[in-house]
Structure 1
């Protein structure tokens, strides 16, 4: 039997009605895939999913005992959870639910999630069963989708609407609390700012933002945004682990929430500037420029938006904020960005 392929070996075991032997073959295929042949496992799982429902049911019935024997935290244990979801997708019994939920809970404090575990498949199984996943877990998958561009993870988080911002940052949690107040107008605003995923706002984005400003009122909106921005950079409310060397995750901006911060900056550009909004933009850029170990600026996308906003605003304090930023920043790229903004601001003042 050793000379047969994994597909053939598992077929023989299933034909013989021996799910334990079949799982031995499954484990061997998994080990082979992690020994330098990852395509073995992917092709093998597709082969298993195509098996008759009765064979898959027998395999699933044998999996809990096999999962219990697997070393805690091992890749094989995670693989069994993943395989259980695949094999049971059209069957009435949902096995290893408690174990699946425990596995998902174990990554709630990760900055990114280990993609090789394919835990997003486990999360989708929970959502498809009508069981919500935690806000912390949503944040993990959103950060992963934002930075790793994994198509399936992006598809998963696209279907999760709440919470509209990731928990874990003081400013975001304050915004979420404000939006949750009865009669508060902030929910639609937050839903719009998280769509600020491009380097510059589109005309369509700005038109919708203008409608929201008109509905809320420029002054209360400015006051609320300034209050939220004053909390940016405070210690995280939810501790996180990072899976690779470099800057501690606690020093970084949540990349999903960073889109929303960029959206807030764009909003302020559409309103007649006040001294407090200009200073809030300067402080946001300064906080974002603060260097982190092995990372550079904490959030270039937010810094870029804030600096460009300061260059665009027709307020005398805007140039003062840019001058201050130029003096406190040492990174070459940031200096170049601020110098260009100062030049643009000077040109605008001369033209005026």
Structure 2
């Protein structure tokens, strides 16, 4: 079976390395010839996972047509804002039997559409699968056991991906709630930014636990209002993704928040991270959706004020702590 990874970021690279141990032929596409040459000649990804050896079985190319030729499964491993652009590039060139697996997490800025909706628009003849869950590339590449979730509008393809790609490193579950899986996977990046900020400000475990659990209320309200199922947000792409992204040293969203919490400006923090920080745009998008739908999401609203209106961090803290007293649990 032929696998193609569009994008050679850390997550795509890690999965390619794992799958190379099994009966797959693997190609990776990247526009950067230095990255391509590094993979093919030095067996290293010079930008991501620099200490991980890339097996000879993995071939890199900067020719997207070559990458997708005769591919059975095509993984989108690009930042969320590039999904539509890449889809347009390949839409008239791929076989309708190729299964599209989206590894990216996010919502489109202008349309507020989920990534599966974008892929359906641009690649209407191909089955679309979302593969998500609490998974840091750094640990996958080191063969540390990881659980993921596969979902699709046509669940036979989600099951195909589960059964084809599960192995002794990756345990893949299925979940028919594609909306909930995508919303949970996108919103957790926003909360990780908030956790990084309060940690950078000097707060500890009590504060982090409060933000994580209370933010789950924001995620549930948003997700259910958009058509997701309540139980999904208590699974791998809900609380699972929150835990791994908010608390891990590998999380770029948390790292970015840490820098902001220590006093760095947003643009400076992004430059320091050196990779796409998905939670920043996601915060703006979910803030806009909440306003449109009249959904109260206080943690996201507070983070928006910090990121985009330059509000003082301490004043936001006071606003959150002085909100009206209420019962802990939602009535949905």
Q: Tell me, yes or no, whether TM beats 0.5.
A: no
TM (norm. structure 2) is 0.33
Which has the larger helix fraction? 1
TM (norm. structure 1) is 0.31
Which has the larger strand fraction? 2
| Bigger RCO of structures 1 and 2 (CA < 8 A, at least 6 apart) | 2
Specify the structure having the higher radius of gyration (Cα).
1
